[in-house]
Copies of this chain bind each other. A is one copy, B any other.
Amino acid sequence: MRVTLDHARDLDRQDPLADFKQHFALPEGVLYLDGNSLGAQPRAARDAVAATMDQWRDELIKGWNQGWFDAPERLGNRLAPLLGAGEGEVVVTDNITLNLFKLLGYLVGRRSDGRRAVLSEGGNFPTDGYIAQGFCRFGGYTHRVLPEGDDLAAHLDGVAVVVLSEVNYRTGRRRDMAATTRLVHAHGAEVIWDLAHSAGALPVALNDSGARYAVGCTYKYLNGGPGAPGFLYVRRDCQEEGWQPLSGWHGHAAPFAFDADYAPAADITRFRTGTHSALAYSALEASLDLWAEVDMPTLRAKSLALTELFRDCLADVLATHGIEDITPALEERGSQVSLIDAAHGYAIVQALIARGVIGDYREPGLLRFGFTPLYLSHEDVWHAARHFREVLEAGEYRDPRFSVRAAVT
């Protein structure tokens, strides 16, 4: 390969984040480029979950007064710095689908200017469009779709709220959050940002970009564990009095007064619904302990270096095999490399998995590789690229074992 293993090792020696890798429990023989689907396990998560099991066993109901009940706000405040948000602006709760519904109801329900359309993005992760459809169908609003690649400004007439991903899950393309937010506001609409592929992948600048509303998950780049809870951001000055439609007791102003009538909490707590899993929160909290030590600009620099290294190692062989590299330019890139091979993409990913290189495949034709700077070294990336090259050069993807498509999570 054009890049030598020695060079990759040199880069590791200069890597200020190199020490983080030892804090993750990674299986032997695996080169994991799928942290954009499910992050690896922080070693501390195991003890944290065991401690919560002890707490359940020994403290029983008292556990709710010993950190479980206020975990949504506490973890929200710990997450906020990674998102460019402040204290009291983030709550960890439910999942992206549900959090989008809450914000749609919070925003669309109270508009008095007759705007009744919700715009979602074509080509975005499907659940964002699905919940916008459910919301509109149920609430009597109009759902519209922004065709992928179209000019957003041309689609904002009459739109109350648009749901956009900062980083697209397929292409890894990053929108300019500040410019886009300004554009949407100038058209009299609100934007809810989906940060699923931004949070923990790069420095997110919610406050500085003028963003008012966002949702995201914690099980991808944030390494919170399988199905770890989602989060929801509302800028401080947008937390006016108002209901969100999923009005459960944990979002009540006084949940233990057992009042007959719902009264939303004055702050971000209003976006909680009902009882949450203490176990799920404890794994995430262990991961956030680690994140507290991470300098985000340094993370970003390493993320881009890793994606470039992978591409540099493979550029010639991808071209030879007719595989298209659709990875965006540096300034528009998330933390992934995206390739297109409609004919052999699935089989290539399967052949790589058989070699312990875990990426993922999404119909139609997309090979997707996530780069997680906390637990991937440059040497890991070099070896992953070497395997990829060998799969292509040896034609391993032609092995019939790898051509049968099954459900891919």
Contacts and interface: CB of A to CB of B under 8 A. Distances in A.
12 contacts: A40-B57, A126-B258, A126-B259, A129-B262, A130-B247, A130-B262, A134-B243, A137-B245, A138-B243, A227-B275, A277-B279, A279-B279
Nearest to A217: B275
Interface in A10-34: 25-27, 30, 32, 34
Contact of A247 (B61, B134, B244): B134
A391 interface: no
Given A65-B407, A130-B248, A137-B247, 19 more contacts: A27-B59, A34-B60, A40-B60, A41-B56, A41-B57, A49-B49, A52-B226, A61-B360, A95-B273, A95-B276, A105-B138, A126-B258, A126-B260, A127-B249, A134-B243, A134-B262, A225-B279, A229-B277, A280-B280
A302 B276 CA distance: 31
B30 A60 contact: yes
A307 interface: no
B274 A225 contact: no
B138 A97 contact: no
Interface string A206-235: 000000000001010000011111100000
How many identical subunits does the complex contain?
Answer: 2
Nearest to A223: B56
B101 A246 contact: yes
Contact of A258 (B37, B94, B250, B363): B363
Given A61-B409, A133-B261, A94 B98 contact: yes
A135 interface: yes
Contact of A27 (B57, B94, B131, B247): B57
B95 A126 contact: no
A227 B276 contact: yes
A69 interface: yes
A408 interface: yes
Contacts of A59: 27
Nearest to A363: B258
A97 to B, nearest CB: 3
B275 A219 contact: yes
